[in-house]
Structure 1
Amino acid sequence: MSLILRSNVFDPFSLDLFDPFDGFPFGSGSSTGGDLVPHTSSETAAFAGARIDWKETPEAHVFKADVPGLKKEEVKVEVEDGSILQISGERNKEQEEKTDTWHRQERSSGKFLRRFRLPDNAKAEQVRASMENGVLTVTVPKEEVKKPEVKSIQISS
């Protein structure tokens, strides 16, 4: 994946790496009762392509991901090679009983995986994550950026 610069402005979403699961049908369409339409990749797309906001504050890079219905044990936050933040998760299909009769099934199961290349000023070893009300918040503290030292040079005649 190449770095994309637009007018020398850092665009964090242009650094979103290739998602190998994009468009892959994760849901299982089998059912034992009722008149159900099998899952399609579009039905799992809302979950498989989890939406993530990335904002930068003076102190940190903050990622917020909507992961409704997931427990913290079903979500993973990893830092790869000290520069790639990876957020992934999986919602499993509920166990069906033989006596169950489905009338409609809209909740999807599936996996998601999102990767972001962190900027040079990120302190990857101090990443923190928390979950509240279906929102995962990942905080990556920033290093203090030192201004480059400028040295004046005398011009001789």
Structure 2
Amino acid sequence: MFLTKYSPLHEFRDFGTKFNSLMREFEDEESSLNGFKPVVNTREGEFAYHVDVDIPGVKKDDLKISIDGKMITISGERKHKKEVKEADYHRIETSFGKFERSFTLPDGADVENITATSKDGVLEVTIPKLKSESKKITNIKVK
């Protein structure tokens, strides 16, 4: 007969691994249920800031861009297309739904002249920079 020392923590030895595995499965399922979350790229040019949003399948009429203080919010909806089921099995992997992305406007942004264009499934929001006075170098005499 073998004697084994009882350890209540023995049951939890692999808990972290099992929990992380479960959470990965939940996140994968959740991302497909949450709907559409477009990818956003931002860049700074010499005269403007640019926000590029990948929105394939979203019509211009389904987009809204609003500014509240120092925040710009881009929202919209990619609507579900009517599908025709012709086989015994039907699966849709494209995500649909409402989305909203908000960003803090940088200092020096010209809020009055922001423009947006949508072409080939990409929304480009252009945020011009305010024109600053040319910087003059002034020498100060030390007394």
TM-aligned CA deviation for residue 140 of structure 1? 0.9
Residue correspondences, number: 116
Distance, in Å, in 2 between the alignment partners of 1:148 and 1:62 is 25
TM-aligned CA deviation for residue 45 of structure 1? 5.7
Q: Per residue, is there more helix in 1 or in 2?
A: 2
1:69 to 57, 69, 80: 57
Q: TM-score, normalising length from structure 1? A: 0.61
Which residue in 1 is equivalent to 2:30? 41
2:115 to 112, 128, 152: 128
Q: TM-score, normalising length from structure 2? A: 0.67
Distance, in Å, in 1 between the alignment partners of 2:61 and 2:121 is 13
Unmatched runs of 5 consecutive residues or more in structure 2: 1-27
Pairwise mapping of residues 43-58 of structure 1 onto structure 2 (< 5 A)? 43-44=32-33, 47-48=36-37, 50-58=38-46
Q: Identical aligned pairs, as a percentage?
A: 34
Pairwise mapping of residues 4-153 of structure 1 onto structure 2 (< 5 A)? 40-44=29-33, 47-48=36-37, 50-81=38-69, 83-94=70-81, 103-146=90-133, 151-153=138-140
4+ aligned runs moved over 2 Å, structure 1:
44-48, 92-97, 99-102, 145-156
- Secondary structure in structure 2 of the residue aligned to 1:143: coil
Distance, in Å, in 1 between the alignment partners of 2:134 and 2:34 is 44
Q: Cα deviation per residue 1:2-30 (whole Å; 9 max; x = unaligned)?
A: xxxxxxxxxxxxxxxxxxxxxxxxxxxxx
Higher-Rg structure is 2
- Secondary structure in structure 1 of the residue aligned to 2:109: coil
Q: CA RMSD in A?
A: 3.0
Unmatched runs of 5 consecutive residues or more in structure 1: 1-38
Distance 1:101 1:71, change over 3 A: farther
